[in-house]
């Protein structure tokens, strides 16, 4: 009985821990919403909020490398994110 109940619950739980599917086109750091930023590989709600806070505090990103100024995004993370980022004109 427990096995049936557990399998029923698992069927409705979202899968976690898998690879995030990268966005089809680069995301503009100057216009992206939190939801759009969370499409980036290994970027969750906390990191997306930090990116938005940084943008509000420091103004638009001039180049994607500036994302390394955000806590939790070092060189290794940047290299993984770089193909999916751009820093376009500020809105």
| Domains assigned to the chain | 27-91 (1.10.150.320)
Residue 15 has pLDDT above 80, yes or no: no
The pLDDT tens digits of the residues spanning 21-61 come to: 677 899 999 999 999 999 999 999 999 999 999 999 999 99
H-type alpha helices, the chain:
2-12, 34-37, 45-58, 75-81
Q: Which residues of 11-24 are buried (b: 16+ CB within 10 A; e: fewer)?
A: eeeeeeeeeeeeee
Interior CA angle at 15 toward 78 and 8, to 5°? 170
> Which pTM value belongs to this model?
0.74
Distance from C-alpha of 65 to C-alpha of 20, rounded to nearest angstrom = 21
pLDDT given for residue 89 in this prediction: 82
Above pLDDT 70, what percent of the chain?
75
């Amino acid at each position: 009985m427990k096995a049936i109940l557990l399998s029923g619950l698992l069927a409705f739980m979202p899968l976690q821990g898998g690879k995030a599917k990268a966005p089809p086109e680069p995301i503009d750091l100057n216009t992206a919403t939190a939801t759009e930023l969370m499409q980036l590989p290994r970027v969750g709600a906390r990191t997306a909020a930090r990116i938005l806070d940084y943008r509000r505090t420091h103004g638009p990103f001039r180049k994607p490398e500036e994302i390394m100024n955000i806590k939790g995004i070092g060189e290794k993370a940047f290299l993984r994110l770089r193909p999916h980022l751009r820093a376009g004109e500020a809105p």
